[in-house]
Chain A
Amino acid sequence: MAKIDEIRQAQLLNYALGESTPAERAELERLLKTDAALLAELEEIRATIGLAEEALLREPIPKLPPRMLEHLRSEMQRRPERAPGLFGFSANRYVALAAAAVLVIVVGVVFRNSLTEGPAPFKVARETQPEPQIESAPPAGLLDADAGAAPESKEDAMPIGQKIEAFIIAGSQNDFTLTVAQELTKGVPAPAAPGAELAKDTAQGVPKAAMKKSARSDNAPAAPEENAAEGAGAEAPRARPARIAMMATAITIPSTDSLLALRGSESAMADCLRDGFEADALLTVRVTIGVGETPSKVETVSANKMPLRDRACIAETVENTKFTGAPEGASFTLTIKPLEN
């Protein structure tokens, strides 16, 4: 019997398993008609396949434990809107997309104005030197975009942990950002000033002190106007929820690795990346993490590449992720922009 090389054996296996290409199949069938050794080899391969299947299929399929099934059922019931395909998009995603559309319009108007009328009507707030004029004249479009519903009624309508708290737009001629702050399930007690600051932002629907460029600025000293507003504010200090701030340029895509760092390697974010079998395009992701009222720790995670096609998955995962590993009072700023060449 002629020795059959490994390549031919692999071709025979492919043939026996129905994995041959049409060309391979045609060639093998032609050879099998005249080559008895090849035919014998094919029969041996088939016998081995049959025995392997018989052996492996006898291994019992375990059952999922009842408590796991119960957990999965409750998860399906708890978030029916997250069940695959039920709505396609989550409500938060619709809101975020609408906000992104508003942002693009506002940015276009502001940029055009800045070219024709001099300085931009609003700037990114500096954490070290708050600029009162930032608060003084937000564009009308911005006010309209944010004042769609009374903040109190919004809070009543949506449970903490599921809602997008506010849309904050900040920008300059070259750097426009959209921040989506999302309240988490677990609030953390906060001193009066930040609590009132948050309440004021929400109550007025104006991107006041929250017009900040990074997580650090979330905790920066309030601007004079903010302090004045606090003095007149009717709301008592309240528990301030930990917040995630997602800052994106034109698109709203949260990051992965900052959250991965917080939650360890088991983060669902990791799989979001891994599950993208192909990457059509890449984004850079920069993450800043600020902790504490006066940030004692500010980290900038180096830019990472993220497959564009996974953005929906990543966005949805971030919306649903509970940041149990996050320190109290932490806020996160995720800045995403197209990959620089």
Chain B
Amino acid sequence: MTALHWANKWIQEYGGRLLRYAKKLLGNEELAQEVVQDTFLRFLKMKREDIEDKLPEWLFHVCRNRAIDVMRRKKPGVSIEDAELKDTSSSALELLEGNERVRKMLGEINKLPKAHQEIIRLKFQEGLSYEQIAKVTGLSSSNVGFILSTSLKKVREGLGGYADEKGGRGGKN
């Protein structure tokens, strides 16, 4: 695969996912697009061998830093925790008509602190490992695991018996 094909493949595969992530961070479609474009421009300047083995977390990490830059430009001193971690352009809840359990789950997730929501999304939406999330966010892997655990516990408490109605997936171990 040529370098151009390789780069194009990653843009196709991760472009939308980064845009979704950036929109959650920024709550603004246009700013999110700007951030994602900057991320890929950076990507195109990198040497393949420098990033190939860590590309997903590298992309999310650069995207996150860009988003923070944008947030600070708008409001100096702002952090992820302060930011509006929501997608204002389209309500995901509206897309889930007829599925009360899923709707309630998203509602509970959206009640969590912003930084915890981000970790939950990186894990369950983007499928990153603890280590990858740690590299994206700058937290330690163990901290990522603990935040996930406490966040899911809160979600479970908020859901009541909803989660139990759904058969869980099998453990990986």
Contact = CB atoms under 8 A, between A and B. Distances in A.
Contact of A76 (B8, B23, B49, B168): B8
A238 interface: no
A42 B90 CA distance: 34
Contacts of A313: 46, 50
A42 B171 contact: yes
Interface in B70-95: 70, 72-73, 87, 90, 92, 95
Contact of A51 (B19, B65, B166): B166
Contact of B51 (A43, A45, A57, A84): A84
Contacts of B120: 52, 56
B115 interface: no
A275 B64 CA distance: 11
B48 interface: yes
Interface centre among B50, B72, B95 (most CB of A within 10 A): B50
A43 B168 contact: yes
A274 B92 contact: no
A312 interface: yes
Contact of B168 (A19, A50, A265, A277): A50
B16 to A, nearest CB: 4
B171 A76 contact: no
B95 A58 contact: yes
B171 A46 contact: yes
A312 B47 contact: yes
Contacts of B16: 61-64
Given A45-B152, A313-B50, A56 B109 contact: yes
Interface in B24-68: 33, 36-38, 40-52, 58, 61-62, 65-66
Contacts of A51: 101-102, 105, 159, 162-163, 166, 168
A266 B33 contact: no
Nearest to A266: B69
A9 B153 contact: yes
B149 A84 contact: no
A49 B173 contact: no
Contacts of A84: 3, 6-7, 43-44, 46-52
Contact of A60 (B37, B70, B95): B95
Interface residues of A, number: 67
A282 interface: no
Nearest to A64: B15
Given A61-B16, A61-B20, A76-B8, A49 B3 contact: no
Contact of A52 (B47, B155, B167, B171): B155
A49 B20 contact: no
Interface stretch (A10-18, A151-159, A194-202): A10-18
A88 B44 contact: no
Contacts of A58: 92, 95-96, 99, 102
Interface in B108-161: 109, 120-121, 123-125, 129-130, 135, 145-146, 148-150, 152-153, 155-156, 159
B49 A266 contact: no
Contacts of A53: 124-125, 169
A280 to B, nearest CB: 14
B40 A88 contact: no
A42 B70 CA distance: 40
Given A13-B148, A20-B173, A47 B42 contact: no
Contacts of A20: 173
A270 interface: yes
A161 to B, nearest CB: 15
A10 B149 contact: yes
Given A50-B169, A84-B43, 13 more contacts: A6-B150, A10-B150, A48-B156, A55-B103, A57-B125, A63-B15, A64-B36, A82-B45, A84-B48, A270-B69, A274-B65, A275-B61, A316-B46
Interface of B: 2-4, 6-8, 11, 15-17, 19-20, 23, 33, 36-38, 40-52, 58, 61-62, 65-66, 69-70, 72-73, 87, 90, 92, 95-96, 99, 101-103, 105-106, 109, 120-121, 123-125, 129-130, 135, 145-146, 148-150, 152-153, 155-156, 159, 162-164, 166-173
Q: State the 5 A-B residue pairs at the shortest beta-carbon distance, nearest first.
A: A85-B48, A46-B168, A18-B172, A84-B48, A47-B168
19 contacts: A10-B145, A16-B173, A20-B173, A44-B163, A44-B164, A45-B152, A47-B163, A48-B152, A51-B162, A59-B87, A61-B17, A62-B23, A68-B36, A73-B8, A85-B52, A86-B3, A266-B70, A275-B58, A275-B62
